[in-house]
Chains A and B, each alone.
Chain A
């Protein structure tokens, strides 16, 4: 509204709208008679000044200065008019130029944020497609119009009445390029883009803008919609793993933002294929701010599962579609192999075994050295598994996804086995956990070994204490309080309290320092008041290494003060072991660039192929079998990308909505390396509704970089004029004289009136 008033006042005072001044070149229309007139005027001015000599004798110095100033100003205005100030404009020749009108046809245009429940598309209907549409009429008077609709694709439209607003994406750059190409070779005055600017494209718009700039095609953007909603709750981001083990207790960060409901409490629900698996209250943050909520739930069913994170919409919310986010998670239902090597008979092995034995997704093999070169094997899956002790080859070792080392000294391993253990973490990407005990850490001679390099704690052989024993009350650190393994109750507070109830455990290894980059999850004050580490981890290479330098975590189960039905020890070890195997790669790893695509959109499949020693394989034969929701099968071969060792890629374009299964098989020399299965969801996306406020900065940038202008519905009436004077297309030169601008007359009258009034006031008349 302010714009309109300003424009009207400006036009009244200066004869033309501001746009004319912006686009025009200023010049003086001087000619010989005029020059004469100017000379005469100058003479008059001199005479006028001379008349003040008398006044000088009458008035004070200040009076003289003011009066001379006023008189000079009057003369200056007159001189300005006399030299014929002129604006030279290049105006489009009516009906000689084309204008491309691009209208956003995506779903976000239906958002009703235009007041009185009107949608963004109302502007298009009223100004461009209705019979009495004013903007369309004005534009049509001056230009030949070509209409385009754009969303995930861009198409020509016979008229703007044929929009459906069903597009599930907005690709602004692509739309501009398409219009540019369609109108190439025609006299183009510019492009008009009516949109909310919510670009959902992954690609940068820079390239499109640069090409328009070099072709001198101005883009006039009309931003529809509010920049910020007055009432909206949005589930902004959900970060879930792509793949988890069945039965895993997940803790997922959900970012919630809002406007208009600050301080209110709403419920965040998590659904697993429609079944409610978690519900928690969320206190909404201040307007415009984000709050991170930790949603806890269990992936109880195997296969590809669609999890939804939902906040029930409020009655007066402007956009309700952004209250839910979904994520496809592959829930693996298979036993993950873990090797627990214990160097001496210890109760720790017994209780770890009891803790994980009911977990069908963990296959923990216990290799207990009961005497020198004598091993007691438990829960082996084959007759010969670890028959002669700890694996001696990489192929054998790398079959496991995690290794737990109990009280076993470094000397029990050959140097090659120690290197293999380090590579198990860094190259194979496995999880390694070293437990405390009289043969572990420094006491076990591990300092200076390759395994010490990957451990998250510092093994300082120099500071070795001859005998160390301390009772420890383990407590979670700040990181541990929120960590899924060490958060042993439903929420942070209960977990903290539960830890204070846990019985003490003991340590015989003094481990007090972690490496840079490591995270301590549990620690305790020992009997010398030093902070002893109870559980720490760090990522190393592809995998992770953990240190738990206590010797009897089984006391968390067995101690007299723990109730028989208390499952904390079991829960802790199951989670710890599951975390160890989490994210550990297979020999064939299949991924896509995205887990959801639009029907017809291409999916890039990427497979990483590794041999049994986890060395990348480049000469593999990799096939993927893609099964559509209706059961149609397409084989997609993957080729080595050459860019990365062991990386194979291929594309397919799903056309049916639903879940596609992709099963990859890799082989070399007729020998199968392995298989992998993943799923791709094909459906219309809802990204249009997220961060769906009108993006004025982007639209302004598009306009400015191409030499156009940014408009909103309130000032869009001046759009035709702006295109007219953009100087592009077929133009004529127009002179716009400025000497008769009303503002000059007003100035003249004001100056003369002021002089008169001053004289009267000072008695100088």
Chain B
């Protein structure tokens, strides 16, 4: 009996020790190697302080982690995707954005309200707390503009489900090339571009309008069945065709200009 008790205590102690060691190791790994070596991820860079300059804001969902990786869906293409995009935006326009410094903010972060254009990716894995849904509703109602990207065909249901938590009466409208968002900087007259190479079919550009009224401003643009940030990310590698990469940048620029004026 006594032996059994001892064995149990020992097992508990060993378990605790293993857990503790694992925790310390993870923390150290994250601290020293940015988690990259340990989890195959990359360290999250600090957000720049608000200074009035345009800052690319990526929305974070799920548990807070200090690193990004392929296993963290909201972080796909970070930071290179947006850095490339901001570099191009800076070259093409008068926007003068932060280029190297981009932000990651949770949907219920008060700081988010200082950045009325936000980017969300991989909505198939999108989860939210009620607080996040409520806060983000206010963000959109006040004038925030959401860009949804990296959106595989089969992920619609989860996205719609989450979006209805934010805007219960939300309606989605398929856009054609006549919408002003495709003419705010570049003239984009054909939407059969930037195809998603891992799912069949053409990309679908969907919009959510203020008060569900297509004559009013778009409050969200959804790149359904496509992934334009992928083009941004790999634009310097030659992995993606130049023409399509150009289109991806053009769409991105138009989105930002539209989001800053409507």
Contacts and interface: CB of A to CB of B under 8 A. Distances in A.
B142 A558 contact: yes
Interface stretch (A368-376, A446-454, A715-723): A368-376
Given A344-B95, A345-B54, A558-B116, A370 B143 contact: no
Contacts of A346: 260
A564 B141 contact: yes
Given A376-B184, A555-B114, A345 B260 contact: yes
A557 B143 contact: yes
B52 A370 contact: no
B94 A369 contact: yes
Nearest to B96: A344
A561 B142 CA distance: 11
B143 A344 contact: no
20 contacts: A347-B116, A347-B260, A350-B261, A354-B143, A370-B93, A370-B94, A370-B95, A371-B185, A438-B52, A508-B52, A554-B143, A555-B114, A558-B113, A558-B114, A559-B114, A560-B110, A560-B112, A560-B135, A562-B142, A564-B141
Nearest to A552: B52
A564 B166 CA distance: 14
Chain B contact surface mostly = loop
Contacts of B256: 345
Interface in B222-262: 256-257, 259-262
Given A347-B116, A506-B51, A552-B52, A564 B261 contact: no
Contact of A345 (B112, B114, B138, B261): B261
A437 B116 CA distance: 18
A557 B142 contact: yes
Interface centre among A344, A369, A376 (most CB of B within 10 A): A376
B50 interface: yes
A411 interface: no
A685 B260 CA distance: 56
Interface of B: 50-52, 54, 92-96, 110-114, 116, 135, 138, 141-144, 184-185, 217, 256-257, 259-262
A89 B95 CA distance: 99
Given A350-B261, A376-B184, A469-B51, 14 more contacts: A344-B93, A345-B54, A350-B143, A354-B217, A366-B261, A368-B261, A370-B93, A371-B92, A371-B93, A506-B51, A558-B114, A558-B143, A560-B110, A564-B138
Contacts of B141: 564
A378 B185 CA distance: 12
A392 B143 CA distance: 34
A223 interface: no
A229 interface: no
A551 interface: yes
A349 interface: yes
Interface in A353-374: 353-354, 366, 368-372, 374
A351 interface: yes
Contacts of B51: 469, 506, 508
A376 B186 CA distance: 10
Interface in A515-548: none
A438 B96 CA distance: 10
A474 to B, nearest CB: 16
B97 to A, nearest CB: 9
Interface of A: 343-347, 349-351, 353-354, 366, 368-372, 374, 376, 378, 437-438, 469, 506, 508, 551-552, 554-555, 557-562, 564
Given A558-B142, A558-B143, A378 B261 contact: yes
A369 B257 CA distance: 11
Contact of A564 (B94, B142, B217, B260): B142
Nearest to A550: B52
A366 B54 CA distance: 19
A368 B256 CA distance: 13
Nearest to B52: A551
Nearest to B89: A345
Contacts of A560: 110-113, 135, 138
Contacts of B54: 345
Nearest to A346: B260
A506 B143 contact: no
A559 B113 contact: yes
B153 to A, nearest CB: 32
B116 A345 contact: no
Contacts of A351: 143
Nearest to A563: B138
Contacts of A557: 142-143
B257 A345 contact: yes
Closest 10 CB pairs of A and B: A560-B110, A344-B94, A560-B113, A345-B260, A371-B93, A551-B52, A564-B141, A345-B95, A350-B261, A558-B113
Nearest to A353: B261
Interface centre among B114, B135, B138, B257 (most CB of A within 10 A): B114
Contact of A372 (B94, B110, B112, B113): B94
A370 B255 CA distance: 13
A351 B142 CA distance: 10
Contacts of B52: 437-438, 469, 506, 508, 551-552
Contact of B260 (A350, A437, A506, A561): A350
A558 B260 CA distance: 13
B158 to A, nearest CB: 26
A368 B185 CA distance: 11
Contacts of A554: 116, 143
Contacts of B94: 343-345, 369-372
B117 to A, nearest CB: 8
Contact of B185 (A353, A370, A438, A551): A370
B207 to A, nearest CB: 17
A510 to B, nearest CB: 14
A370 B89 CA distance: 10
Contacts of A437: 52
A369 B185 CA distance: 10
Interface centre among B93, B110, B257, B259 (most CB of A within 10 A): B93
Contact of B257 (A370, A438, A559, A564): A370
A534 to B, nearest CB: 15
Nearest to A551: B52
A343 B93 CA distance: 11
A367 to B, nearest CB: 11
Contacts of A469: 51-52
B142 A376 contact: no
Contacts of A508: 51-52
